[in-house]
């Protein structure tokens, strides 16, 4: 598959370039970045551009879009207009409307949209998903998810925390991976109650904390906390509790715990994985070692999703969209004090009113 990368010079874009170059089933068709020189240096032999129209003139089958969220809609729409499949970073876009427009464009083109929830591939989180799927925990009762870090100290650029570009705060950043992980293990999230706060960093529209309860149609509930005020540092955790045990996956450091029993309260068996290989590699090479491995596995699943619709663990368009809808619903719930009901996904997504309006600008200076 010939894949182009947009935002190729960024932290994530360069990892996408690396995984495409390393995968024998893919070739790097072209790179594009407003910083064309940096993108060109990463991809010797591939044509490089700072102009979207010229980039899209290169023959290719798919595009990976690793830009900031606020410029994504126009790029996705152009990709679909050119008949390409799209793998895009999280969050899908900076607004619900833009996200819905991207999904509608994918549907109209009949092409794949995959959302970059690569934490599904982190060994501890993949373990949680697989244990839940194995049935070892008995009947699943509830889920707990947490994603946090110490906020603005983590960001080098304003777009990363200002809502008009990022979409919002902790829920749109580290937290959106855990919104997705909750949905990944519990099924669709169709009711949301939540509370937000913006008391610490005071960035309008960018929550410091989001605490919520998610409901799946079968009655399973998840408690959720995304934060930019975890003064201890970066951490993501999911725990799933069933009638015959629990499983926990966490990062960083990578760690998982499984407790199972024959009947509720019976003698328990414990399995604790500490992923020493991950820790050694991160010590020697940095966290990007873990990230690149996850992007490589995600790329394999993207190829399958395009080829035969299977796609393994990959986050499909429903996953990418629902994570945005949940973030918006938590904000709405926090304002009204009421729970928000979300229509089950899987049905056709109606284009939003702006769908018939002029497409968003492809001007890369919008970054």
Ligand X SMILES: NC(=O)c1ccc[n+]([C@@H]2O[C@H](COP(=O)([O-])OP(=O)(O)OC[C@H]3O[C@@H](n4cnc5c(N)ncnc54)[C@H](O)[C@@H]3O)[C@@H](O)[C@H]2O)c1
Q: Which residues bind ligand X (CB under 6 A)?
A: 6-7, 9-13, 32-35, 66-69, 71, 89-90, 116, 118, 157, 291, 364, 366-367
- One DSSP character per residue, 126-155 reads HHHHHHHHHTTT-SEEEEEEEEE--GGGG-
Nearest to 319 by CA among 215, 156, 184, 217: 184
In the bound state, the residue with its beta carbon closest to ligand X is 10
259, 245 in Cβ contact below 8 A? yes
The secondary structure of residue 121, as a DSSP letter, is G
Nearer Cβ to ligand X (125/193): 125
Compute the least distance from the CB of residue 155 to ligand X, in Å: 9
Q: Kindly tell me which of 122 and 275 has the beta carbon lying closer to ligand X.
A: 122
Which residue number, 166 or 209, has a Cβ lying nearer to ligand X? 166
Structure tokens of 283?
A: 């010590």
Of residues 38 and 107, the one with the C-beta less far from ligand X: 38
| Minimum distance of ligand X from residue 350's CB (angstroms) | 25
Cα dihedral sign, 126-344-114-213: negative
Alpha-carbon gap, residue 309 to 5, rounded angstroms: 22
- Taking the C-alpha atoms of 289, 294, 297 and 302 in order, what is their torsion angle to the nearest 10 degrees? -130
Question: Whole-angstrom Cα distance, residue 210 to residue 224?
Answer: 8
Quick one: 13 or 242, whose CB is closer to ligand X? 13
Nearer to ligand X, 88 or 333 (CB): 88
Closest approach of ligand X to the CB of residue 90, in Å: 6
CA dihedral 219, 332, 67, 103 (to 10 degrees): 60
CB of 55 to ligand X, least distance (A): 8
Tell me how far, at minimum, the Cβ of 316 lies from ligand X, in Å.
16
Query: Rounded distance, CA 95 to CA 196, Å?
Result: 17
Q: Which of 134, 202, 147 is nearest to 174 (CA)?
A: 147
Return the number of other C-beta atoms located less than 10 Å from residue 23's C-beta.
16
Q: Tell me how far, at minimum, the Cβ of 170 lies from ligand X, in Å.
A: 12
Nearest approach, Cβ of residue 50 and ligand X (Å): 7
Whichever of 71 and 196 has its CB closer to ligand X, that residue is 71
Q: Which is nearer to ligand X, 10 or 169 (CB)?
A: 10
CB contact at 8 A, 87 and 74: no
Q: How far is the CB of 232 from ligand X (least distance, A)?
A: 20
């Amino acid at each position: 598959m010939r894949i182009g990368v947009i935002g190729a010079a960024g932290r994530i874009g360069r990892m996408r370039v690396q995984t495409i170059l390393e995968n024998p089933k893919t070739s790097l068709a072209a790179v594009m970045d407003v910083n064309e020189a940096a993108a060109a240096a990463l991809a010797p032999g591939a044509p490089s551009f700072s102009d979207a129209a010229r980039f899209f003139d290169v023959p290719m089958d798919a595009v990976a879009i690793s830009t900031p969220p606020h410029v994504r809609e126009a790029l996705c729409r152009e990709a679909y207009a050119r008949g390409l499949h799209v793998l895009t970073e999280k969050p899908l876009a900076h607004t619900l409307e833009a996200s819905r427009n991207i999904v509608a464009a994918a549907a109209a083109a009949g092409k794949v949209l995959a959302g970059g929830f690569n934490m599904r591939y982190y060994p501890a989180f993949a373990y949680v998903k697989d244990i839940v799927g194995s049935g070892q925990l008995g009947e699943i009762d509830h889920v707990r998810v947490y994603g946090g870090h110490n906020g603005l100290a983590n960001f080098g650029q304003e777009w990363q925390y200002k809502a008009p570009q990022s979409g919002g705060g902790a829920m749109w950043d580290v937290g959106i991976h855990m919104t997705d992980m909750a949905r990944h293990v519990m099924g669709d999230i169709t009711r949301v109650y939540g509370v937000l706060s913006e008391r610490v960093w005071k960035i309008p529209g960018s929550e410091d904390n989001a605490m919520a309860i998610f409901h799946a149609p079968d009655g399973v509930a998840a408690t959720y906390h995304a934060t930019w005020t975890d003064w201890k540092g970066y951490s993501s955790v999911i725990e799933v509790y069933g009638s015959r045990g629990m499983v926990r996956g966490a990062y960083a450091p990578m760690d998982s715990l499984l407790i199972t029993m024959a009947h509720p309260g019976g003698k328990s068996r414990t399995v604790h994985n500490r992923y020493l290989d991950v820790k050694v590699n991160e010590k020697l090479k940095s966290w990007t070692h873990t990230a690149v491995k996850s992007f490589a596995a995600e790329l394999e699943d993207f190829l399958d999703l395009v080829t035969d619709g299977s796609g393994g663990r990959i986050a499909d368009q429903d996953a990418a969209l629902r994570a945005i809808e949940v973030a918006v619903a938590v904000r709405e719930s926090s304002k009204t004090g009421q729970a928000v009901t979300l229509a089950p996904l899987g049905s056709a997504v109606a284009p939003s009113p702006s769908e018939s309006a002029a497409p968003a600008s492809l001007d890369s200076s919008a970054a």
